[in-house]
Structure 1
Amino acid sequence: MTAIEPNIVPFASAAAASGEPYVTTPVAYDGILLAGFGGPEGQDDVIPFLRNVTRGRGIPDERLEEVSHHYRHFGGVSPINGQNRVLKEALEAELASRGIDLPVYWGNRNWTPYLEEVVVEASQHGHNTLLAFATSAYSSFSSCRQYREDFARVLEETGLGDTVTIDKIRPFYDHPGFVDAFETGVRDAIEGFLAEGVAPADIQILFSTHSIPTADAERSGARDIDWGEGGAYAAQHLAVAEWVMDRVRQSNPAAADVSWELVYQSRSGPASQPWLEPDVCDVIGELGGRGRKAVAVVPVGFMSDHMEVLWDLDTEAAEAAEEAGLRFIRTPTPGISPTFVAGIVDLIQERLQGTPNAERPHVTALPGAFDVCRPGCCENVRAGFKPAAAGIVP
């Protein structure tokens, strides 16, 4: 591993290397790195993919097979790769429409095309100053720092650490382009229930996101900010959900009597390890006792309709609602909506132009959507700190 001096930003562009939280100097990036999670594309891919996801944990194939049922249900195909192919095309078209001549390279953490392959490809084409857009909007180890660690690992393992730099677009959980789909979805769901004769007080909105270990949640975000219980991860989701409901209530006064809460899904850790709660299906099972007759589940933690949305919400949560005798709807994710795609390119232009933080669009009042992550941000307590790009060490 390359030795890293403390209090610097490794593998960063010159503008980001100072460690200032916001980069206000224009950077002449020569490539965009679309960094995804990855997913299997056939039955034979499922176990090798899950080995990649759980690498280093010593989980036997027999156990992986037990948890592969949702992939098997869909023919071993995760939709996430197809979604990223389409997103890449949409980003290329939006960049071209604005006269921005930048290639988009797409690479995954856990399946082909791997990040290693595309970073080498970019360098071979002379594109060595990369700006990464990770397909996760919030602050936590799995949604931010793990991508940054992968960038550092790739640059070290390929020997490109002295040639290629990778900066990262800020967390975009409260960017207008990202939240627009959730606002529209909640508004449409409430109006649909009302049209069916459901009283506002009988409607429940559940904003759902991926559960993570409580210890990771508590360490999410910058350490010098008091985020409250659940760290930046919970605070960011709550702030977005509150903003969405405020907007919907402004446009439809009847929504003032509609209840909402933040729930979690897709827990994958051992029962002995605390994870963020409550679980979406557990809450749905309780709604009848609260007098609710309809529930809208809002996948506020997800960028597109990948496996956790199709299985955990469209399948399991829908079944829980049916068992509870509730009307059910799952609202849309941003996907490749024109508003969201335009918002991503707006985020790219922030860094190309060095836009001051005060001029950057956001819908919540939360601090901490940094261009350069702060020391110790989003620690993984099980594995400790590893080299990570786009942030001050450790």
Structure 2
Amino acid sequence: MLCEGGVPIGSPALVACGGFRGSHRVRPGCAGVFARRDDGAVSFDALLFLSFGGPEGPEEVRPFLENVTRGRGVPPERLDEVAEHYLHFGGVSPINRLNQDIMAALRSELDAQGRDLPVYFGNRNWHPMVEDTVARMSADGVRRALVFATSAWGGYSGCKQYHEDIARARESVGEGAPELVKLRQFFDHPLFVEANADAVRAAFERLGERAGQARLVFTAHSIPLRAEEPVGPDGRGQWYSRQVAEAARLVAEQVGAETYDVVWQSRSGPPQVPWLEPDIVDHIEDLHAKGVDSVVVSPIGFVSDHLEVIWDLDNEAAEAAQERGMGFARAATAGTDPRFARMIVELIAEHTDGAPVRKLSEFPAAGSTANGEPCAPGC
């Protein structure tokens, strides 16, 4: 079946933003776009691994940050502050290396399952830019490809902006650009939840005797409140923050944590613009004032230990806890867990094999569309 936005018929259980499992809403004009095998599944030539990007040297930091913040009204002094974070680590973001590690694990998993699917790498904000990568895919003869974006979430930055990246890249290539189908959001995939849960358990173990008094705190990237209002296929808004809350609930349930908090980090906009709160550092201060002895922080909103995780959590949040005599342990992100690559292959199989959708929440399986089309009004 097809749902709004053009999810291929080869995904019988997958419904993108506009629908739920078992719905049959069809977007006119989408049928027949994808080639089919004799068994009814859809054929794809490659996978595009689409991510955020990061600088590889000091001279790249400011141009990279200008790409990231273009049109967002971020004050220059905030750019200077963030630039110092990168320069503290030699101007090199770990994100590209971490993405290469994930792709290496993914290629190994594809090979182990006998799947011949070349993997291409493109970024939104820095080299290799997605436009250049899609041009190379076209030159290599790729006609139809799946796209894995390194965000588990809905919302503008987590999903819609990747659809825009796809559309922009295809437009830059022009005639002959490959068809590109983005894989769905995966915040509630069992393997993603399991990997995060095991990382939380390991963080509690590192606290030793203080683990019994530790508070579990989940964190994700803050966004402006106005970005939350119109987003979501169910018309309720707050799509991103509700998904983060649900993922936190699923992980907390697996580790047996009856109490936990969901907080935010890494805000960057003008100070007069309200963003999701509380901030992780402010929250640690509040926990200390309430007599909490220790804290375990799970960066569930992030796939890898990139700079915002390392700086905002391993430096600022850890320092806030240590200054108050609190125990602090930060859980690992899920990207380097072997289950993460297996999850990506399962998402691929939903399209190539018609494999069933595995998910742990009642949220619709959202975010999968063809060629960058929006999957629901306002989404």
TM-score, length of structure 1 as denominator length: 0.83
Closer/same/farther in 2, CA of residues 59 and 372 from structure 1, 3 Å limit = closer
Per-residue CA deviation, residues 27-50 of structure 1 (Å, 9 max, x unaligned), is: 101010000100000000001111
User: Which residue of the other structure, out of 363, 370, 374, is the alignment partner of 2:360?
Assistant: 363
Within 5 A, what are the aligned runs for 1:1-394? 9=5, 18-19=26-27, 26-57=41-72, 64-160=79-175, 163-193=177-207, 195-196=208-209, 198=210, 200=212, 202-222=213-233, 224-226=234-236, 231-249=238-256, 255-256=257-258, 259-355=259-355, 359-372=356-369, 388-389=372-373, 391=375
Tell me the distance in 1 between the aligned counterparts of 2:369 and 2:48: 17
Deviation at 1:72, TM superposition (A): 0.9
Tell me the distance in 2 between the aligned counterparts of 1:42 and 1:211: 26
Structure 2 residue aligned with 1:378: none
Structure 2's unaligned 5+ residue stretches are 17-25
- State percent identity of aligned pairs: 44
Closer/same/farther in 2, CA of residues 263 and 57 from structure 1, 3 Å limit = closer
Name the count of aligned residue pairs. Answer: 355
Deviation at 1:367, TM superposition (A): 2.6
* Partner SS state of residue 201, structure 2: helix
* Partner SS state of residue 264, structure 1: strand
Deviation at 1:353, TM superposition (A): 1.4
Per-residue CA deviation, residues 59-85 of structure 1 (Å, 9 max, x unaligned), is: 686663343111111110000011111
Tell me the distance in 1 between the aligned counterparts of 2:374 and 2:354: 16
Question: CA contact under 8 A between 1:209 and 1:264: conserved in structure 2?
Answer: yes
* Partner SS state of residue 320, structure 1: helix
Question: CA contact under 8 A between 2:152 and 2:186: conserved in structure 1?
Answer: yes
Question: CA contact under 8 A between 2:216 and 2:298: conserved in structure 1?
Answer: yes
Closer/same/farther in 2, CA of residues 53 and 199 from structure 1, 3 Å limit = closer
Tell me the distance in 2 between the aligned counterparts of 1:61 and 1:264: 22
Matched residue type, 1:240? A
Deviation at 1:95, TM superposition (A): 0.7
TM-score, length of structure 2 as denominator length: 0.86
Question: CA contact under 8 A between 2:10 and 2:354: conserved in structure 1?
Answer: no
Tell me the distance in 1 between the aligned counterparts of 2:42 and 2:235: 28
Please, which moves more after superposition, 29-38 or 59-68? 59-68
Question: CA contact under 8 A between 1:42 and 1:76: conserved in structure 2?
Answer: yes
Question: CA contact under 8 A between 2:73 and 2:270: conserved in structure 1?
Answer: no
Deviation at 1:360, TM superposition (A): 1.5
Tell me the distance in 1 between the aligned counterparts of 2:61 and 2:369: 35
Tell me the distance in 1 between the aligned counterparts of 2:353 and 2:153: 23
Tell me the distance in 1 between the aligned counterparts of 2:61 and 2:141: 35
RMSD over equivalenced CA pairs, Å? 2.7
Tell me the distance in 2 between the aligned counterparts of 1:209 and 1:103: 31
